[in-house]
Chains A and B, each alone.
Chain A
Amino acid sequence: MNYPIWYLPNTGGGLLIAIIAILHVVVAHLAVGGGLFLVLTERKAVKSNDAAMLGYVRKHTWFFVLLTLVFGGVSGVGIWFIISLVNPGATSALIHNFVFGWAIEWVFFIGEIVALLIYHYRFDKMDRSKHLVIGWLYFIFAWLSLFVINGILAFMLTPGGWIETGNFWPGFFNPGFLPGLLFRTAIALIFAGVFALITASFLKDGNLRIRVFRYSAKWMYYPLILLALTGFYYSTVISEESFRNVFHVNPESRAFISLFIYASVALFGLGLFTIVRMNSMLHKVLAFILVVISFGWMSGFEYLREIARKPYVLYGYMYSNGIRPGEVATINENGFLATAKWARIKTVTEENKLQAGEEIFRIQCLSCHTIDHYNGIRSRTNKLSERGIEAQLTGMGKINTYMPPFAGTQKEKKALAAFLYEVIQGKTTIPDKGYKPAELTTEYPAFDPQKNDYVLLVWNDLGMHCISDNEKYFSFLPPANTLNAQLFKRGPLPQVVTKNVKLVYEVEPMHADPEKHSMFWKYSREIFGAEIPSGKGLAGKSVNDVMDARGNYFAADLIPVVPYRDDDVYSPYPVFTVSAIDQTTGELLIATKAVTPVSTEMGCKNCHGGDFAWNGISGVSDETAENILAAHDRYNGTTLLPDAQKGRPRLCQSCHADPAVGAPGKSGILNFSSAVHGFHANYLPDMDNTSCNMCHPSAATGNTNCYRGRHAITGINCTNCHGRIEDHALSLLAGQSSIPQAKVLSANLVPLLARDKAAVNPRTPWLNEPDCKGCHTNFNINIDGFSGTAYNQWASGFNELYRNRTDNHGVRCIACHGSTHAVYGAQNIYEKQRDNMQPLQYQNIAGTIGTYNNCAVCHTVPMNANGHHRNMANRTDQVAIVQ
């Protein structure tokens, strides 16, 4: 941001640093350990009067000079050069803070160089004792230079007290300093042994060669215990977040963890062959292989150290792209392009959107992402729509903190998403065509208040139900609508009837064969663990069946109705005709019609890409399903996509507990609603009910419009009861606080409808829900006011829920007031009064059963007392009905 960027779209600066640094670091560790090796071996040779061994030391010194002085020394400067080019901001910060540390290191360097030159050039021209002093001084200077650079390098990952004080000393002697120093000293000794094999392999005398090989083996293996202990120590001083990112979360680490493990096994496994006598050629091959493995081994370790530091280049102080965490809020307000000194475009317009997006990518993202190669952005964004990329940028760094947050305005974020989608992916966002619902007409049965003795009220319990209709890949919502009913015998004191009556239900003919339109039965064994008979639901009911009597109501659970008609019309509100039949006489007591809302308007594709699967109107396509599973696998280390592709799709709730399907889930894993909402809230915050509409079939422009009751008409939206997605997620995550992931998902969520996170009351999904009483004080808002939101005032349990609650007479609230989310009078886009058929049938008014002083519907006579709840009789204010 502050500095110009070296444009490297194909290599990436990080790779260049890695190449130079790894080459240097291996040789540099050799330069330290090898110094001790030289002086100790010389001493050993002198003590045992071994001229041949001394000759070996002389040769090894020359090799040492050529490798460590020339290559090691210049490549060290090389690191300095390359980091200044790839990340000048971080380099400047380091240099300005640690200039005297480097100045001190330079003194050690010159001591090292002079000592080594004397050691080599005066090898036989000095008294041996004085020569050994020079050797020791070389090693001391070399180790001291490691001392210094290790402090500064460790600072980058664990800056310690420097973050608060800006002081050199706590910054230098930071938490990672000591473990790093000890760990690298162990490495230095090990490499001394490995590289000694190179010169030893050229010894012609076989006896000497095997002696040196075995001697070098001690250098390789004795420090192993120190390496293991200090390595473990090292892993305990990095921050919890670092540890979690590098070992559990960041997919980038996986390859390097494998590399480090395999290289360790290879190095210390093959290294055992050093004790075996063999001919010179084999010894050369062995030495060469061990050196090559050493480079691989070091790469594994150093890459892991670098990855542990992400998203920072200086931990907690500066992100890898040069942005400081404290600057992000200002940049979001003033604009990234306006703030970046070297941006060629300063504001985003409609005309320059793609170029602006490219400029943002170049300055903010190129530091870690190439286009097609390492961390290639093309493959990172090919499973998302343009809107999905925008959401990804919004959620970046909030859950998986190895990414920094996006810094820029909303417009800039959209420009970047447009660039990534249109230019990098080469795709185009097709604008929404809009949807014209089929115009349906339904005739409902007649009701004669003089002749009919019964009133049958039937409702769907949830008011909306979806099907995740690509069971080939996964399922979390099978075809499973529940119808409930109460049958009343009319009279001044009506009776709830369940005995001796059979409630038969029948769906519209076009919906009679759901098995033709759903993969539910094909995959029922994989997903539900049992073969479910064709046409039957999970509770054994089919679409034409009989309801069960339970206490004072009737239920038909989990009816497998689907919204796809046989004539290829999409109808998410199939109508059931329910008939109450006297079991003794066979007489039809009363019939009515009820809607079971069932939609496949799953909004996953809005971000996860793909199109609607069923005639371009609805349903989850294979592409969308694959992208969803791929994302889940990447973030969580699961194998859902390959498993599904091998014919083994899973029920999401097989891991994620869910009261809605009665699944216990697996311990330690968030329940389904917490996981989905908790995760996505990070990507779709600050959007009021638009975020609800992105996934649920509630969008006004969608094919369902499931939120259609009285509240929708008065302008109340989902968030007034449920909170925004952030509020919604926080209430769920608060109920899961014993699971660590709950803290991770809620870390960056900010509640709107509660004072703070601590004030959010925990809830279990499907059991603690917002309730009417939260707003409807004393059952009459117009007289007694309302709190403005039902959020955070949850019903205490199953029996307290609106859809299950009764009054003192056992009459269900939902029976008279209508299905949840379709409270009378509702408006339906497929047929205006489709949801209001029962009130129209019984009282000719599309409003609550009994409204407008229509108590006679059940009571046969007018009533003037509050029999069911307060503020019923003699109401002066009349609420809206649907004309």
Chain B
Amino acid sequence: MEGTASLIWIVLFLPLIGSLVQALFGGSVVAKMGAAKGKRVMGTLAVLPIAVAFAIGAFLTLQLSQQEVGARSHVVTLFDWINIASLRVPFELVVDPLSMTMVLIITGIGALIHLYATGYMADDQEYPRFFTYLNLFVASMLILVLGNNLGLMFIGWEGVGLCSYLLIGFWYRDIENAKAANKAFIVNRIGDWGLTLGMFLLFAVIVANVDKMQLPEGETRWLSYDVILPNIVRIIEAQPAIATAIALLFFVGACGKSAQFPLYFWLPDAMAGPTPVSALIHAATMVTSGIVILNRMHVIFEVSEVASAVVAMVGAFTALFAAVIAFGQTDIKKVLAYSTVSQLGFMFIGCGVGGYWTGMFHVTTHAFFKALLFLGSGAVIYAMAHNQDMRNYGNLRKYLPITFATMFIGFIAIAGLAVPPGFGFAGFYSKEAILGYALANEHASIGVLNLGYYAGVLGLLVAGLTACYMTRMTWLTFFGKEERWRAIPAVEHGHHDDHHVAHAHHAHDHGPDTHGFFYTDEELAAQPHEHEHHHELDETHTPKEVPPSMWIPLAVLAVPSAIGGFLLYRNHAFEKWLQPEPLPVLGEMSGHPEHLNLLMLSIAAAFSGLIVGLLVYRKGLPKSEGWEMGKWATWRKLAANQFGYDRFLVRSSTEGGGEVANMVWKYIDVGIIDKIVNGVGVAVSKVGMLFGAFQTGYVRSYALMMLFGVTGFLGYIVYTMIRVGGGQ
């Protein structure tokens, strides 16, 4: 197996090479072969490495699953990356169930989304640039999950952050997109702050307790998982406060990447990026890296009940908060974005209460159905002339049968609809497992307060809400008799109804630079107009089903969204794969609450959500949610604005923060620091002038200086010699 495990390098390097190929040759290939043919070639070259990587990953996973439970972890080292006094950080990857699960998700779903993107991005001029980023993202994400030490993990962590930034701002000429990209990047820095501090603290704790660890002689890989994790429990069990500190700092990092309250607010804005990006990065893979870290580091969380309780409660609150906000959204991608935030909250509930594998289970099923839903929404947007507002949709099942059928499967999966003996689509099983762990265990508690239980109760409520807002989205989009876009009169560039103008503009997610930020008017006019082929959505528009490169991934994803949960849940397959032995600290945990019929409760929650949703949205768009914001209910208006949270943060950080920064600049920076710095600079140049003055250019003075130097030097030696000799 060790030899076979080395194949993992190929998995890692394929997307990396793919990215380089796109970057170096993409432009010239498209230019030489002509747009259509060149794009087809580069598209194939983009999908191929990921698909091959998936095949190798699947083979490795199969090999791994045939091994004994205790032997399912292999570390393969390529070279020593850093080797300094008492710290060695090799470039090493780990092949174990957790990393391989993620590899399959990343490459499998990644390959489908790449395929989809070849269709979705077909009209974009910067086709190779898109796939350069997308392949690079896959490579970074693979390093994140495969790296066997915190150093490599951090490279991946920052790599995916960078790719996410680049891809959100892919259509950077629109200032809004650039702003969204900045926001994502900056908010993630806050998370990174926590993550790096956590890493430093963990490192400090490890090196301070080397004597308590059982290690082979000469082991100095203090950042590697196989060194840290088996030993850390012995060290931090005696110091629960430190365990809590490390766990919470890692959780701050997880909150940033996985969009949990209070750091969630970059994710909805991130939907400014192309839809395949939303599906791959901001739903299926990158945003789950927080869960992956928690799973990797779970022993630390096992030791700290307080940190676990915080994780569970933050997860539950985020799930609820985002679910409510989803009711106030009319942009189809925003609904899915908030639903992602909410589902990520579920995963954190699972990890918080000690059911670490349930978190990963939900990561897996969520990757299936959320990628499906996002790609489906992309298909809808594509068919609707890039208009994203659900108030312009309606009755689309007539025009987009394949999209509708597949998205409907996704809808059932996320809503958790199931029939009594316990059969349902993917999301049902994982959500059920999380809630079962939450309601049955007492790990996540502060004092006597079992917060994990309350998180479970909140989770049950959110499950109902999820069914309801997903019903809203599905019915507004696909059902109803009214085809609402027919109400938009076909005037050139829509100078009519105020609302429509405003919304048409915002919905148009990558218009040319209307702000004149980068280009003058003449330059704009001189450019070939990028989006001329996108005619505006108006009454003359007839939606058409999307091309096969786009609906094939939908159809493929629909299969695991439907039956994936059942297959993985049956005979505890996923649990036995990821967590075959009882947890090292918590031991055997129960996944089923004793006094509660959870199955019936969650089925009831899902169906009541569905029924309420049907009652309201059965006939299409209710007047109370239409174009006139004045008629909206107060709570919905608040939800649409994220209860003022985002605005508050932006205000306080850009305006208030600007004030503070101004003061700091004026009094501290200019007043104190500049003076010190300038003073030092002046002092240093004074020294320089002093010595520069000797630089006369005359050989004789140089020789004299040398003589002085020699005399001084030898004099000093003689002085030392006499002093040392005197001491003898």
* A and B co-occur in one complex: no
Residues of chain B having any CB pair with chain A under 8 Å: none
